Amino acid sequence: MRINRRRYLTQKVAKILIWMAALSTMGVMALIVLQVLSEGIPVLSPRFFLESPRSMGREGGIFSTIIGTIALTVVAIVVATPLGVGTAIFLGEYTREGRISRVIRFGIGCLAGVPSIIFGLFGFVFFVIYLNMGWSILSGGLALAAMILPTIICTAEEALKAIPYSFREVSYSLGGTKWETVTRAILPNAMPGIFTGIILGVCRSIEETAVVILTAGSSLIIPTSLFSPVRTMSVHFYILAREGISMEMAYGTGAALILLVLFVNIVANWRLNRYIRKRA
């Protein structure tokens, strides 16, 4: 009976510890979100979203930074998705485990571990200076694309790995080529996983500050082309808070940022569930 009691006790302690881990994680998250939202939401109004900042952001809204955020994210995703998914397909379907795939995976692993400020520095030296693209949407988007590439590759590769081998065999047995097998039998089934990776990339692009500040500048003017400099919402938040311009406006921007990320995730989830329901 002693053993039983000990096992019972272990079970109880484990349960409490695990609950505590989960609750404290959620608690910290809730604390941050609530803090920003409670300070920021009073600032939010239609005018806050639709007016551009005036006098360095002390007054007006955040319209131009919303445009900047969206523009950079779109460039980053448009560039990183085909490269990332293509690399994942190469690793999963077009090459056997060997030296080349190991070198590529090692490279991806390194990229994933690099702090974002390094991507910023790289973007600044390479895109802004060397390629003479200046502080611009293009420079910023390309640097962000490099930053989110490992995420997209890894999630896409996992999604491809999860496809049962029988689908490949059936497709080949019906006379399919490798390309037909990839595009008709594998990719459609891996789409939900790949999409999840892309959404992760979207959220990281929206939130990123260090890369953007070094590659896209901090202009508050509404951009007119890919070569215009922009300021994103996160950078705006950083500058407002760091330079003590207006904590009120900073919190407003922070709240808008959190709501944007929430919105992206909700819409993505909804689309994803619809896609999955339609197919299964």
Instruction: Catalog residues that contact other proteins under the rule CB under 8 A.
Output: 96, 164, 166-177, 180, 184-185, 188-189, 279-280
Place of tokens 């569930």: 273
Round to whole Å and give the CA distance between 187 and 163.
9
69 vs 171, beta carbon nearer other proteins:
171
Q: How far is the CB of 168 from other proteins (least distance, A)?
A: 7
161 vs 184, beta carbon nearer other proteins:
184
130 vs 165, beta carbon nearer other proteins:
165
Looking at residue 244, the DSSP 8-state letter turns out to be T
180 vs 248, beta carbon nearer other proteins:
180
Q: How far is the CB of 93 from other proteins (least distance, A)?
A: 11
54 vs 184, beta carbon nearer other proteins:
184
Q: How far is the CB of 172 from other proteins (least distance, A)?
A: 6
Q: How far is the CB of 173 from other proteins (least distance, A)?
A: 4
> What is the number of H-type helices and E-type strands within the chain?
12, 2
Q: How far is the CB of 175 from other proteins (least distance, A)?
A: 4
32 vs 276, beta carbon nearer other proteins:
276
What is the separation, in whole angstroms, between the first and last Cα of the chain? Answer: 50
Q: How far is the CB of 91 from other proteins (least distance, A)?
A: 16
